[in-house]
Amino acid sequence: MNPLCLLGLNDSHLVALNEPGHRLQAEARDAFMAMQAAAAEAGFKLMPASSFRSFERQLAIWNGKFEGKRPLLDANSQPLDTLALSEPERINAILHWSALPGTSRHHWGTDLDIYDPDLLPPGTRLKLEPWEYQAGGYFYPLSQWLAANMARFDFFLPFAHQGDGVAVEPWHLSYRPLATACASQLTLPLVAEALRLQQIAGKTHILNQLDEIFVRFIRVCEP
Protein backbone atom coordinates (compact mmCIF):
# COMPACT_ATOMS: atom_id res chain seq x y z
CA MET A 1 0.00 0.00 0.00
CA ASN A 2 1.06 3.57 -0.67
CA PRO A 3 2.71 4.79 2.58
CA LEU A 4 0.50 7.88 2.63
CA CYS A 5 -2.60 5.66 2.57
CA LEU A 6 -1.10 3.45 5.28
CA LEU A 7 -0.63 6.50 7.52
CA GLY A 8 -4.08 7.94 6.84
CA LEU A 9 -2.67 10.87 4.89
CA ASN A 10 -4.34 9.85 1.61
CA ASP A 11 -7.74 8.25 0.98
CA SER A 12 -7.40 7.14 -2.66
CA HIS A 13 -7.63 3.46 -1.60
CA LEU A 14 -11.22 3.76 -0.38
CA VAL A 15 -14.75 3.25 -1.67
CA ALA A 16 -18.03 4.24 -0.03
CA LEU A 17 -20.23 1.93 2.02
CA ASN A 18 -24.00 2.08 1.73
CA GLU A 19 -24.07 4.00 5.01
CA PRO A 20 -23.26 7.70 4.43
CA GLY A 21 -19.89 8.86 5.72
CA HIS A 22 -18.31 5.38 5.88
CA ARG A 23 -15.56 4.06 3.62
CA LEU A 24 -13.37 0.95 3.32
CA GLN A 25 -11.19 -0.68 0.72
CA ALA A 26 -13.39 -2.33 -1.96
CA GLU A 27 -12.58 -5.92 -0.94
CA ALA A 28 -13.26 -5.19 2.73
CA ARG A 29 -16.46 -3.32 1.81
CA ASP A 30 -17.76 -6.31 -0.16
CA ALA A 31 -16.93 -8.72 2.67
CA PHE A 32 -18.62 -6.48 5.23
CA MET A 33 -21.76 -6.15 3.12
CA ALA A 34 -21.94 -9.93 2.79
CA MET A 35 -21.62 -10.24 6.56
CA GLN A 36 -24.32 -7.57 7.01
CA ALA A 37 -26.68 -9.62 4.88
CA ALA A 38 -25.98 -12.77 6.90
CA ALA A 39 -26.47 -10.84 10.14
CA ALA A 40 -29.80 -9.50 8.86
CA GLU A 41 -30.98 -13.05 8.21
CA ALA A 42 -30.15 -13.81 11.84
CA GLY A 43 -32.13 -10.79 13.03
CA PHE A 44 -29.31 -8.27 13.56
CA LYS A 45 -28.84 -4.84 12.02
CA LEU A 46 -25.05 -4.76 11.72
CA MET A 47 -23.96 -1.16 11.24
CA PRO A 48 -20.68 0.75 11.24
CA ALA A 49 -20.13 3.29 13.99
CA SER A 50 -16.74 4.22 12.53
CA SER A 51 -14.77 3.04 9.50
CA PHE A 52 -11.96 4.93 7.76
CA ARG A 53 -10.42 7.61 9.92
CA SER A 54 -7.85 10.01 8.49
CA PHE A 55 -4.57 11.03 10.12
CA GLU A 56 -6.06 14.49 10.61
CA ARG A 57 -9.08 13.09 12.43
CA GLN A 58 -6.94 10.84 14.62
CA LEU A 59 -4.68 13.80 15.37
CA ALA A 60 -7.68 15.88 16.50
CA ILE A 61 -8.76 13.06 18.83
CA TRP A 62 -5.23 12.72 20.21
CA ASN A 63 -4.65 16.43 20.78
CA GLY A 64 -8.10 16.85 22.29
CA LYS A 65 -7.45 14.12 24.85
CA PHE A 66 -3.91 15.29 25.57
CA GLU A 67 -5.06 18.86 26.19
CA GLY A 68 -8.00 17.85 28.39
CA LYS A 69 -10.62 18.94 25.85
CA ARG A 70 -11.91 15.39 25.34
CA PRO A 71 -12.66 12.83 28.07
CA LEU A 72 -9.79 10.54 29.00
CA LEU A 73 -10.60 7.25 30.73
CA ASP A 74 -8.56 4.87 32.84
CA ALA A 75 -8.41 1.11 32.21
CA ASN A 76 -11.75 0.71 34.04
CA SER A 77 -13.52 3.30 31.88
CA GLN A 78 -13.47 5.87 34.71
CA PRO A 79 -12.66 9.56 33.99
CA LEU A 80 -9.11 10.76 34.58
CA ASP A 81 -7.94 14.26 35.51
CA THR A 82 -5.93 14.63 32.33
CA LEU A 83 -3.96 17.74 33.22
CA ALA A 84 -2.92 16.27 36.58
CA LEU A 85 -0.97 13.55 34.75
CA SER A 86 2.61 13.93 33.58
CA GLU A 87 3.06 13.95 29.80
CA PRO A 88 4.36 10.34 29.68
CA GLU A 89 1.45 9.22 31.90
CA ARG A 90 -0.98 11.06 29.64
CA ILE A 91 0.47 9.43 26.53
CA ASN A 92 0.10 5.93 27.98
CA ALA A 93 -3.45 6.66 29.17
CA ILE A 94 -4.49 7.87 25.72
CA LEU A 95 -2.85 4.90 24.00
CA HIS A 96 -4.91 2.49 26.09
CA TRP A 97 -8.03 3.58 24.16
CA SER A 98 -6.87 5.60 21.15
CA ALA A 99 -4.22 4.94 18.53
CA LEU A 100 -1.32 7.24 17.86
CA PRO A 101 -2.00 9.20 14.64
CA GLY A 102 -0.44 7.33 11.73
CA THR A 103 -0.81 3.96 13.46
CA SER A 104 -4.58 3.55 13.63
CA ARG A 105 -5.93 0.48 11.87
CA HIS A 106 -8.80 2.73 10.79
CA HIS A 107 -6.38 4.47 8.39
CA TRP A 108 -6.09 1.33 6.28
CA GLY A 109 -9.67 0.95 5.11
CA THR A 110 -9.72 -2.57 6.55
CA ASP A 111 -11.21 -1.96 9.99
CA LEU A 112 -14.46 -0.66 11.40
CA ASP A 113 -16.32 -0.32 14.67
CA ILE A 114 -19.77 -1.93 14.68
CA TYR A 115 -23.01 -1.94 16.65
CA ASP A 116 -26.71 -2.74 16.22
CA PRO A 117 -28.88 0.40 16.58
CA ASP A 118 -31.94 -1.79 17.16
CA LEU A 119 -30.34 -3.20 20.32
CA LEU A 120 -29.51 0.23 21.73
CA PRO A 121 -32.22 1.27 24.22
CA PRO A 122 -34.20 4.39 23.21
CA GLY A 123 -32.55 7.58 24.41
CA THR A 124 -29.24 5.80 25.07
CA ARG A 125 -26.04 7.04 23.43
CA LEU A 126 -23.52 4.58 22.03
CA LYS A 127 -20.37 4.68 24.17
CA LEU A 128 -18.17 2.00 22.58
CA GLU A 129 -17.12 0.62 25.96
CA PRO A 130 -16.48 -3.10 26.57
CA TRP A 131 -19.43 -3.66 28.92
CA GLU A 132 -21.90 -2.85 26.13
CA TYR A 133 -20.74 -5.94 24.22
CA GLN A 134 -20.14 -8.31 27.11
CA ALA A 135 -22.61 -10.52 29.00
CA GLY A 136 -25.50 -8.36 30.19
CA GLY A 137 -24.70 -5.56 27.72
CA TYR A 138 -26.96 -4.29 24.95
CA PHE A 139 -24.91 -5.80 22.15
CA TYR A 140 -23.99 -9.13 23.73
CA PRO A 141 -26.27 -11.12 21.36
CA LEU A 142 -24.55 -9.45 18.40
CA SER A 143 -21.12 -10.24 19.88
CA GLN A 144 -22.11 -13.90 20.19
CA TRP A 145 -23.27 -14.00 16.58
CA LEU A 146 -20.05 -12.37 15.39
CA ALA A 147 -17.92 -14.79 17.41
CA ALA A 148 -19.62 -17.67 15.64
CA ASN A 149 -19.76 -16.19 12.13
CA MET A 150 -17.28 -13.39 11.40
CA ALA A 151 -14.43 -15.73 10.42
CA ARG A 152 -16.57 -16.96 7.49
CA PHE A 153 -16.21 -13.46 6.06
CA ASP A 154 -12.50 -13.12 7.02
CA PHE A 155 -13.09 -10.67 9.87
CA PHE A 156 -11.55 -10.94 13.33
CA LEU A 157 -11.17 -8.91 16.54
CA PRO A 158 -7.64 -7.43 16.70
CA PHE A 159 -8.20 -6.22 20.27
CA ALA A 160 -9.87 -9.30 21.71
CA HIS A 161 -7.69 -9.77 24.80
CA GLN A 162 -6.62 -7.47 27.59
CA GLY A 163 -2.86 -7.06 27.49
CA ASP A 164 -0.35 -4.66 28.96
CA GLY A 165 -1.30 -1.89 26.56
CA VAL A 166 -4.39 -1.66 24.37
CA ALA A 167 -7.88 -2.09 25.84
CA VAL A 168 -10.25 -4.85 24.76
CA GLU A 169 -12.44 -3.56 21.92
CA PRO A 170 -15.20 -6.08 21.16
CA TRP A 171 -16.70 -3.64 18.64
CA HIS A 172 -13.59 -3.36 16.44
CA LEU A 173 -13.53 -5.69 13.42
CA SER A 174 -10.64 -6.12 11.02
CA TYR A 175 -10.64 -7.66 7.54
CA ARG A 176 -7.75 -10.09 7.82
CA PRO A 177 -6.65 -10.53 4.15
CA LEU A 178 -5.87 -6.81 3.73
CA ALA A 179 -5.05 -5.89 7.33
CA THR A 180 -2.28 -8.49 7.50
CA ALA A 181 -0.45 -6.83 4.63
CA CYS A 182 -0.95 -3.35 6.08
CA ALA A 183 0.35 -4.39 9.50
CA SER A 184 3.50 -5.81 7.93
CA GLN A 185 4.18 -2.55 6.06
CA LEU A 186 3.77 -0.24 9.04
CA THR A 187 7.25 0.39 10.39
CA LEU A 188 8.65 2.47 13.21
CA PRO A 189 10.76 4.73 10.92
CA LEU A 190 7.71 5.43 8.74
CA VAL A 191 5.62 6.46 11.75
CA ALA A 192 8.44 8.48 13.32
CA GLU A 193 8.98 10.50 10.15
CA ALA A 194 5.26 11.26 9.82
CA LEU A 195 5.00 12.41 13.45
CA ARG A 196 8.03 14.68 13.19
CA LEU A 197 6.18 16.68 10.53
CA GLN A 198 2.95 17.08 12.52
CA GLN A 199 1.76 19.32 15.34
CA ILE A 200 1.03 16.49 17.73
CA ALA A 201 0.73 17.21 21.45
CA GLY A 202 3.46 15.54 23.50
CA LYS A 203 5.67 15.08 20.44
CA THR A 204 9.00 15.09 22.29
CA HIS A 205 7.94 12.39 24.74
CA ILE A 206 6.22 10.37 21.99
CA LEU A 207 9.33 10.29 19.83
CA ASN A 208 11.55 9.50 22.84
CA GLN A 209 9.48 6.44 23.76
CA LEU A 210 8.33 5.43 20.27
CA ASP A 211 10.22 2.12 20.38
CA GLU A 212 8.26 1.08 23.48
CA ILE A 213 4.98 2.43 22.09
CA PHE A 214 5.45 0.45 18.91
CA VAL A 215 5.93 -2.84 20.77
CA ARG A 216 3.34 -2.28 23.48
CA PHE A 217 0.52 -0.57 21.61
CA ILE A 218 0.97 -1.27 17.89
CA ARG A 219 2.69 -4.59 17.21
CA VAL A 220 0.68 -6.22 20.00
CA CYS A 221 -2.45 -6.17 17.81
CA GLU A 222 -1.02 -7.64 14.60
CA PRO A 223 -3.40 -10.17 13.00
Domains of the chain (ranges plus CATH)? Answer: 3-221 (3.30.1380.10)
Per-residue pLDDT reduced to its tens digit, 148-194: 999 999 999 999 887 657 888 999 999 999 999 999 999 999 999 99
Residue 9: CB atoms within 10 A of its CB come to 18
Q: What's the whole-number average pLDDT of the chain?
A: 94
**Can you give the pLDDT at residue 216?**
87
Helix (H, G, I), strand (E, B), or coil: what is residue 204? helix
Q: Which residues pair with 50 in a beta bridge?
A: 113
pLDDT at residue 58 is higher than 90 = yes
Please give the average per-residue pLDDT across 91-119, as a whole number. 96
Give the span between the Cα atoms of 21 and 184, in whole angstroms: 28
pLDDT at residue 4 is higher than 80 = yes
Helix (H, G, I), strand (E, B), or coil: what is residue 157? coil
DSSP-derived secondary structure letter, 82:
G
Q: What are phi and psi of 151, to 5 degrees?
A: -65, -25
Q: Which residues pair with 15 in a beta bridge?
A: 24
Please give the average per-residue pLDDT across 51-65, as a whole number. 97
**Can you give the pLDDT at residue 3?**
95
Give the span between the Cα atoms of 66 and 86, in whole angstroms: 10
User: ∠ CA(182), CA(111), CA(78), 5° rounding?
Assistant: 115
